Structure 1
Amino acid sequence: MTETQTLEWLLDSDPALKWQVQRDLVRSPPDEWHATRDRVATEGFGARMLAHQDEDGQWAGGAYFPADFDEASAEAEEGQPWTATTWSLNFLREWGLDPVVLAGTAEKLATNSRWEYEQLPYWGGEVDCCINAFTIENGVWLGAEIGGIVDWLVEHRLADGGWNCEWIDGSTRSSFHSTISSLRGLLAYDIATGGTVATRAARRGGEEYLLERALFKRLSTGEQVGPWVTRLVHPFLWVYSVLNAADYFRKAALFDATAPDPRMTEAIELVRSRRRPDGVWLQERTQKGRIWFEMDVAEGEPSKWLTFYAMRVLEWWDAAALR
């Protein structure tokens, strides 16, 4: 496909993706992409997800896991379920749903939802860095009070610069997965509020953790940390990849008004190398586990979402190089 054909292919999408293609790749007038984004609440993925919300404000009756998920379910199911409240909110937020559509949800969750860990209140967070980071993102989106979780996340950055959700089990080494999720949470807070000296410093430290490792290498040996780091997958969920990281750094650089860091060069070229001759990127892995409905293609098929994210990152990177 030519570049024009690729864009036409991307535009033939659910409103959740189409408005982002219009805004970030096609550069459509604001009234055009705004009109498409408004359709997220009434059509396609967004409308389908909203239809699954419970009367008490939750999805699937649980905060992070469905109400019917237990040890027996974990053994029977191939992967983590992605249907509970946190994941459903993540999807809706990432699809651009206007938070006005969910008016009252933050209050309902404050009253009705408790984390599976020690039944802690929803907007108070729990002990997992990734879960707390997602809650910060969803909280600033819905207007909930999440200042306490922000402070918690800043305080739980590890000595090597990043985060690890397994800190509570004694881990003292940061995780790529936990670090990118934590960074996204802090960036959402900084964008929404301007941040604080502490949140900005924590974010800089976490970014440096990844940049020192070129986004995909071990600091000790310079070797790739594992095959998963270069395997492109959508939805991102909590899963790290060079594309997930590059997408974060693009967003952070635009907010901070900074140039791309040259230490990302190899990671960017890895993303570029995954482009097929026909101009698209393939789904390279799918996350197993219970879902409300399919949101992307099967492994090995051309993914509009991955193509969009990759094209957007490369356009940002290449434009900066030209300047």
Structure 2
Amino acid sequence: MDLLAWLRDADPALRWQVERDLAGEPAGVWEATRARVATEGFGARLLARQDPDGRWAGGAFFPAGFRGDEPQPWTATTWSLNALREWGLDAAVLDGTAGLLARSCRWEYDDLPYWDGEADCCINAWTLANGVWLGADVTGIAEWFVAHQLPDGGWNCEWVDGSTRSSVHSTLNSLKGLLAHEKATGGTSASRAARQAGEEYLLERRLFRRRSTGEPIAPWVREFGYPFRWRYDVLNAASYFRDADRPDERMAEAIALIREARQPDGTWLQRRTDAGRVWFAVDVPAGQPSKWLTLFATRVLAWWDAR
């Protein structure tokens, strides 16, 4: 099939990235499509769900009323901001939201102020990225990552329970937050060093192997699914290194896994989906060709092959 035509026939949140990264369209074309994220499709639908006080679903990480007797919901403020930022929404559309959240939104953990972050590495990483996007002062969170990096170079959300060994999930999400901060502000010498050490943590493991035995970490490293949310897999990790523009030969095996997952028609299949409440579906059920995963995988391979 005509893969580009199939990918272009998509929500503006996805289409503008296809136009820019795969089709090589002039900036005026993909920028016009990107602007439509605020007024059409996924972006417009999610913006319409924002509460007057700046939050979504009345909560920071969990929706108001969440009692823990259901799978993790994906509707609260942090998840909604993550989606809008990743879809390319112009931050100006959310002008005033940073201030609203500073006044009205507090973490479910210890009732801490929203832009101060909390104790979870992944949550702090998303808050760091969302904060620099919206213009909030999140300097303290960037410093938090430097102070909470573990001796092996990564991070683990379970550090609060005494863990001293890093997690690939926590490390990748932490790296994404630090990269967003660095791109927006330049970072500091300490935050740049922390990010580089975190990259080494993943590269030393070839993105998917245990350092101790060389065996794959787990089957889920090959189970690609969109939205990525907090989950680690080699496509998610390789996409980070593409965004950071850091090709490294130690990624070669992981790139091969991504290439092997390509279907004969050039698509990648959705391999997993997360349970839990959503505002609306943004990708296909498991087992079907995913336009989002096909976008991510195709541009990772193009970047790698063009080194």
TM-score when scaled to structure 2?
0.99
Match of 1:284 in 2: 271
Mapped partners of 1:8, 1:319: distance in 2: 23
- Whole-angstrom CA distance in 1 between matches of 2:145 and 2:65: 29
Unaligned runs of 5+ in 2: none
1:53 alignment partner in structure 2: 50
**1:194-213 → structure 2 map (5 Å cutoff):** 194-213=186-205
Matched residue, 1:22: 19
Match of 2:161 in 1: 169
Q: Does the alignment pair 1:146 with 2:131?
A: no
State, as a whole percentage, how many aligned pairs show the same letter: 67
Q: Which of residues 273, 280, 300 in structure 1 aligns to 2:260?
A: 273
Task: Tell me the equivalent position of 2:4.
Answer: 7
2:180 aligned partner: 188
**1:275, distance to aligned residue in structure 2 (A):** 0.3
After superposition, what is the alpha-carbon deviation per residue over 1:49-84, rounded to whole angstroms, capped at 9, x for unaligned? 0010000000000000001101xxx22x2x210000
CA distance in 1, matches of 2:122, 2:135: 20
| Match of residue 43 from structure 1 | 40
1:81 to 73, 76, 79: 73
1:128-139 pair list within 5 angstroms: 128-139=120-131
Runs of 4+ more than 2 Å apart = none
Aligned-pair CA distance for 1:154: 1.4
Asked if 1:111 is matched to 2:99, the reply is: no
Determine the C-alpha separation between the residues in 1 that align with 2:140 and 2:77. 20
| Number of residue equivalences | 307
Distance 1:104 1:249 in 2: 32
Q: Distance in 1 between matches of 2:65 and 2:45?
A: 21
Once the two structures are superposed, residues 281-309 of structure 1 have per-residue CA deviations (whole angstroms, 9 ceiling, x without a partner) of 00000011110000100000000000000
Q: Which residue of 2 aligns with 1:234?
A: 226
Looking at structure 1, the residues matched to 9 and 233 of structure 2 have their Cα atoms a distance apart, in angstroms, of: 26
Asked if 1:93 is matched to 2:85, the reply is yes
Q: What displacement does 1:166 show? A: 0.5
Cα deviation code 1:87-124 (max 9, x no counterpart): 00000000000011000000000000000001000000
Unaligned runs of 5+ in 1: none
Write the letter of the residue equivalent to 2:243.
K
Secondary structure in 1 matching 2:99: helix
Q: Distance in 1 between matches of 2:5 and 2:212?
A: 44
Q: In structure 2, what is the equivalent of residue 316 of structure 1?
A: 303
- Code of the residue aligned with 1:293 in structure 2: it is F
SS at match of 2:227: coil
- Pairing of 1:248-267 with structure 2 (within 5 A): 248-253=240-245, 258=246, 260-267=247-254
